Structure 1
Amino acid sequence: MTKQPEWLNTAVFYEIYPQSFMDSNGDGIGDFNGIISKLDYIKELGCTAIWMNPCFDSPFGDAGYDVSDYKKVAPRYGTNADLKKLFKEAHKRNMHVLLDLVPGHTSVEHKWFKESMKAQKNEFTDRYIWTDSIWKEPSGYGSLRGISDRDGSCVVNFFSHQPALNYGFYKPSESWQQSFDDPGPQATLEAMKDVMRFWLNLGADGFRVDMAGSLVKNDEDGKGTIRLWKNVRAFLDKEFPSAAMVSEWGEPDKSLQGGFHMDFLLHFGPSHYNDLFRCREPYFSSRGKGDVKEFVKKYLENYEKSERKGLICIPSGNHDMDRLARSLNPQEMKIAFAFLLTMPGAPFIYYGDEIGMRYVEGLVSKEGGYGRTGARSPMQWDSSKNAGFSSAEKKKLYIPQDPAPDRPTVKQQMADKSSLWHEVNALISLRMQTPALQNLGEIDFIETGYPLVYKRTAVDGKACMVIINPSQKKCEVKMKEGQVLHITGKGAEYKNGCYKVEGGTAVIINLA
């Protein structure tokens, strides 16, 4: 297991979608100076670190996940110097910043790809994955064809304007498929290390890596990709040992082998994450018709594979999924946060989730957002023009805001002691004061229905019991009496050898 930076042991992350967070120059799009102006807010909420979605130069066909220059920030956010200032301002506040690294593909506008398209062999010919004939499509992959004089079809990831970078095939089966050790894939890897080196030298604290498990193709059990990231780990250990690495992989046993410090729980695949928050009957709905068992089963499977280390990160949401508020009401979200902020691994709070920002329905897709666009609307700060996000005319805003007159705002919720914001703030504060609740504390599940009951244990043996009861029905949990540290919801009492917990309530108990 890779030794991680000390600050990561207690980190609580705040995810910033930069174009929607805070606009400082009135063009309707968020920027670095806007983020800098709100660092004190993030710190006051209790978060100690930031994950910022891609901010590199891009044609924005996929909201910045289609990079055209890895070493230059998109001008709409500012300059490289502005980003460097953001790092410094965060560090002044004892906060850390992870950039979003997209190593699997670029935009078709990247200079590497433009050179790769040329018929004449050059330094970038093998930077991307090409078949050896225009008539040969890569089986199992989408491709770009007939776009240049080069004979061949180019493999793409996701959208058709995202050509896949070449890290080789674990088991090449076609003449055009290269192995990880071939010169082309090795040059690609070195180029990506150089990108990481560039931003770490400017002050970045590390990276959240987009789709980290997808780089080597035809990869049996992830063995080739694990080998690739071990190579990166050796580079970082030598040059940047304090750089933090969080993977979007969804298989912690593999990502941790590869040298990542933490893995990100995915909202797709076998995790059952959406059983909790985003399905027809979410577990955290007060209707009490949800099911947490499959989530716990898969979580424990990954937890055991990762040597019972608290290294699986569970986000409140992110730019790729519906807002929590689309499925849960404010009281239900409080209970959901009681869960999110008492689980192992670094919590990730998606900007605006702390005030229950809503999914904006019926929006036209923006920059490849499609159904995700409604979860990317500008932050709602106050009741002034454009909810304090921008001085631009409404029609110039990056994405339309929630038009409802009762839309939640930071100012309103900070003034209301019973608000979701204050509940999130209190839970983060308790987490910071209680080692058993922090990122590396162990977890043992006691009950996996209504209620969900689990024990968190610190390295020194001190422990807490967490009782989560989202349903409207009261429940009883037999256990020894302890010190109640926090109650979210309606209330609980200890009587006749058990805690009687009201519906819609979470209780955190310090065990003697």
Structure 2
Amino acid sequence: MKKTWWKESVVYQIYPRSFNDSNGDGIGDIPGIIEKLDYLKELGIDVIWLSPVYQSPNDDNGYDISDYQAIMDDFGTMSDWENLLDEIHKREMKLIMDLVVNHSSDEHAWFAESRKSKDNPYRDYYIWRPGHDGEAPNNWAATFGGSAWDYDEASGEYYLHLFSKKQPDLNWENPKLRNEVYDMMKWWLDKGIDGFRMDVINFISKAEGLPDGPNPHNKKYGDGSQYFMNGPRIHEFLHEMNKEVISNYDVMTVGEMPGVNVEQAIEYTDASRDELQMVFQFEHMDLDSGPEGKWDLKPLDLRDLKESISRWQTGLHGTGWNSLYMNNHDQPRMVSRFGNDKEYRVTSAKMLATFLHMLQGTPYIYQGEEIGMTNIRFDSIKDYKDIETLNYYRDALNEGKSEEDIMQSIYTKGRDNARTPMQWNDEVNAGFTSGTPWIAVNENYKEINASKAVHDPDSIFHYYKKLISLRKQYEIIQYGDYELLLPDHTEIYAYTRSYEGKKLLVLTNFSDQEQVFTKPGELQFDADQVLVSNGVVASLETDEVVLRPYEAVVYLGE
């Protein structure tokens, strides 16, 4: 297996609007990020992934870009951004930027031209179609609710938007458009960035003819995903991008790919194919969703998580490479979702971190995860900001669902759970801003904040710091083989890693009850071989070990 810097790195995702506000306008900004770089350096971070800071009307919090080569006024100036890059590199960290090229903003100059007339040179930069009998060209639903098509009266045609109607999809069938994207990527790479996280990059190739999608629940709109996820020319486009741009720089790439399976991910990440290095897959993020999607809640069965993670760990081993994450800006807080954010918040946050950071792959930490930030429960829908959440609330009410059930889904799965301001200290607004924050701060900030965590040697922060340090110290954590133990146990997730004659045993209790781990006969470990634990070290000198609620322990032996 080829060793590379990005396989050995730990990444920290910054959602800039919610990270740190330097000027008191209630919105996080680039100078605010610079103020906190030493905090990230102390944690041990190698790479910062910066969510979009480009010019944007902000319909989808910056994922609707109106100018790919300018900085949003809310966040600062290009000079601020250049200073940020310099300060990151001075600390021997790297910076990867978000690449959002499945769609642009409808306020981008390309789209402004495109909608002027059917024969405009930019018309073919987007996906325009005539309607059928006064209806949209097909039945596809948009991800944020409603139809994936919007009618443009001036030209008498519809344009495709898989997300908000202010996010028209770019037409990757057009080579001129692709070259514009590649030139823009080179522009940023030549400024010195260290790679890209690519937003829904497996959506860029659409099936010819854009057929209707299935509609098994007889809803207003159908599911067109089979015609735009992992489409017919996706590998061709990514290979071309790699050839024209990525291969000329020593950078890391990770593609966000909803709906991708192990076999497809191998094709995307196999180094011999010259496409991407990693993908963000969503299989483990969908295990607590029912048949109607993310808002359809169901309890997580730990056996499903084991089966999924194990398939990815063994499937990509030696060929591709895994990205490791349990939350991000689009997902709820992991300690609230997979742990216990009340009685066992600290213990379960450490357990989840142990489980994740001992796997093979590149770990991604989402801001606030390292101090155990939790989900939010706002009193009113009026306090929520996320477009997906607000559209779901409206549509679900119209479908006759009860407000109580709708709010429970939002409390559990809404994206604003991840977007409340970073909790820096116990002062007003958690030290995020001296003004009025753009979204309310979680009320638990006096108990949960970075200042308190940094000064407490037993905190979640210091536990993450240790996990990151261990990953750099032991190649077995970076490159070892993975093997699942006890696949049918409903509360314990146990696995081994093996590398060059050494073996790592990882035991994690995902429950609030004591659990007994019975050691397979061939495993030989004792208490002297504990690498890290979130509790009193359990001895493995007998055949059984009792794991306390949410306990995690890692042994290293021969």
Q: Distance in 2 between matches of 1:377 and 1:420?
A: 19
Cα deviation digits, residues 342-378 of structure 1 (max 9, x gap): 1111111110111111222126232526332232011
Instruction: Name the residue aligned to 1:463.
Output: 503
Given the alignment, which residue of 420, 442, 447 partners 1:402?
442
1:366 and 2:360 correspond: no
Cα deviation digits, residues 281-316 of structure 1 (max 9, x gap): 86xxxxxxx532222323343444435457221213
Instruction: Kindly report which structure 2 residues correspond to 1:8-407, keeping only aligned pairs within 5 A, or say none.
Output: 8-119=6-117, 121-132=119-130, 135=134, 137-141=136-140, 142-168=147-173, 185-218=174-207, 219=227, 222-240=231-249, 242-249=250-257, 250-251=260-261, 252-257=265-270, 259-266=275-282, 272=287, 291-309=301-319, 311-327=321-337, 328-329=340-341, 330=345, 331-362=347-378, 364-366=383-385, 368=387, 370=389, 371-392=414-435, 396-404=436-444, 406-407=446-447
Instruction: Name the residue aligned to 2:495.
Output: 454
Shift, 1:26, TM fit:
1.6
Q: Which runs of 5+ in 1 are unaligned?
A: 169-184, 283-289
Q: Distance in 1 between matches of 2:493 and 2:115?
A: 55
Q: Distance in 1 between matches of 2:504 and 2:296?
A: 30
Instruction: Name the residue aligned to 2:542.
Output: 496
SS in structure 2 of the partner of residue 316 of structure 1: coil
Shift, 1:111, TM fit:
0.6
Instruction: Name the residue aligned to 1:484.
Output: 530
Q: Look up the equivalent residue of 1:420 and give its one-letter code.
A: I
Distance 1:416 1:402, change over 3 A: same
Q: Distance in 1 between matches of 2:111 and 2:296?
A: 40
Q: Look up the equivalent residue of 2:161 and give its one-letter code.
A: V
| Mapped contact 2:150–2:158 kept (Cα < 8 A) | yes
Cα deviation digits, residues 52-74 of structure 1 (max 9, x gap): 11111100000011111111111
| Mapped contact 1:341–1:347 kept (Cα < 8 A) | yes
Q: Look up the equivalent residue of 1:401 and give its one-letter code.
A: V
Cα deviation digits, residues 101-129 of structure 1 (max 9, x gap): 11111111011001000115232110000
Q: Look up the equivalent residue of 2:165 and give its one-letter code.
A: S
Q: RMSD of the TM alignment (CA)?
A: 2.7
Distance 1:461 1:281, change over 3 A: farther
| Mapped contact 1:166–1:188 kept (Cα < 8 A) | yes
Q: Distance in 1 between matches of 2:50 and 2:231?
A: 27
Q: Percent identity?
A: 32
- The worse-fitting range, judged by mean Cα deviation, of 200-209 and 81-90 is 81-90
Distance 1:325 1:467, change over 3 A: closer
Q: Distance in 1 between matches of 2:445 and 2:200?
A: 38
Q: Distance in 1 between matches of 2:454 and 2:61?
A: 31
Shift, 1:133, TM fit:
5.1
SS in structure 1 of the partner of residue 172 of structure 2: coil
SS in structure 1 of the partner of residue 12 of structure 2: strand
- The worse-fitting range, judged by mean Cα deviation, of 477-486 and 292-301 is 292-301
1:508 and 2:531 correspond: no
Cα deviation digits, residues 177-205 of structure 1 (max 9, x gap): xxxxxxxx211211111121111111211
Q: Distance in 2 between matches of 1:91 and 1:267?
A: 34
Distance 1:305 1:470, change over 3 A: closer
Q: Distance in 2 between matches of 1:294 and 1:216?
A: 31
Distance 1:237 1:147, change over 3 A: closer
SS in structure 2 of the partner of residue 139 of structure 1: coil
Q: Which runs of 5+ in 2 are unaligned?
A: 141-146, 208-226, 390-413
Cα deviation digits, residues 126-185 of structure 1 (max 9, x gap): 0000014584622143344443522321111111211111123xxxxxxxxxxxxxxxx2
Instruction: Name the residue aligned to 1:182.
Output: none
Q: Distance in 1 between matches of 2:53 and 2:471?
A: 30
Q: Distance in 1 between matches of 2:320 and 2:457?
A: 31
| Mapped contact 1:378–1:400 kept (Cα < 8 A) | yes
